[in-house]
Amino acid sequence: MAGTTTIGGDLTVNRLGFGAMRLTGRGIWGHPADRDNAVAVLRRAVELGTTFIDTADSYGPHVNEELIKRALHPYADDLVIATKGGLLRTGPDQWVPLGRPAYLRQAVETSLVRLGVERIDLYQLHRVDPEVPLEDQLGVLGELRDEGKIRHIGLSEVGVDQVRAARAVVPVVSVQNLYNLANRGHEDVLEHCEANGIAFIPWFPVATGDLARPGGVLDAAAAEYGATPAQLALAWLLRRSPVVLPIPGTSSLAHLEENTAAAGVELAPEAFEKLSALA
């Protein structure tokens, strides 16, 4: 119901994806407490119409990609599994950028094995390593694309200047940044993506913070639409731009159902403007 968007000119997906990061242990470390539940959540997401699942080799690490293969392999023809590399895990809640070309090549090769695919449809540089020239980090991803191991290349947590610099090295089809109704610090990046036909994938998309306080505009709008604040936050993102591809994540089947239902919430222009004025 939220419509579709096309990534890189040839990957058409439904505009409400699923972020699989939470299907791990605490601190995004180790296995989830209930692996069968994690598998059930992934399978239910696909049953509900999800055709875009986002993961990374650092989620677990490695655990998330393995779970996706266990739950969904062999993959449906219309299912896009996007993964990321470039962050080294040294412990729970610890993330260290590592963009050396040899490491990134190894990351891609091992993700291919864990996911059980010959080519990764969308491979995203998880973080730009400030200690390694950007052209080296993206250069090796470009080589892997030329070798047929990556279909498209994306970026994560970057500014407009970095997107421009990256596009001078390789075609960039997506940007995944922190962005939601309560936090719009990357508005300029979204506008740049929209102007250049680049998919914008907001992570942490359902955050509402103090905006959901009782009696506030978001609370009143939720009551009017018979929706939850989280559903309105997702509906606002879907209304914000046709290049936006939210990836709400959860380890709860109930929350998955709730988030997916947001695709059916169509905000009126007045409601969209009121919500836009909140931040």
Q: Which residues are catalytic?
A: 59
Give Cα 28 to chain centroid, integer Å.
15
**Can you tell me the distance from the alpha carbon of 56 to that of 250, in angstroms, rounded to the nearest whole number?**
15
Burial degree of 156 (CB within 10 A; 0-12, 13-18, 19+): buried
CB count in 10 Å sphere of residue 273 = 10
Name 171's Cβ contacts closer than 8 Å, sequence gap at least 6: 8, 152, 153
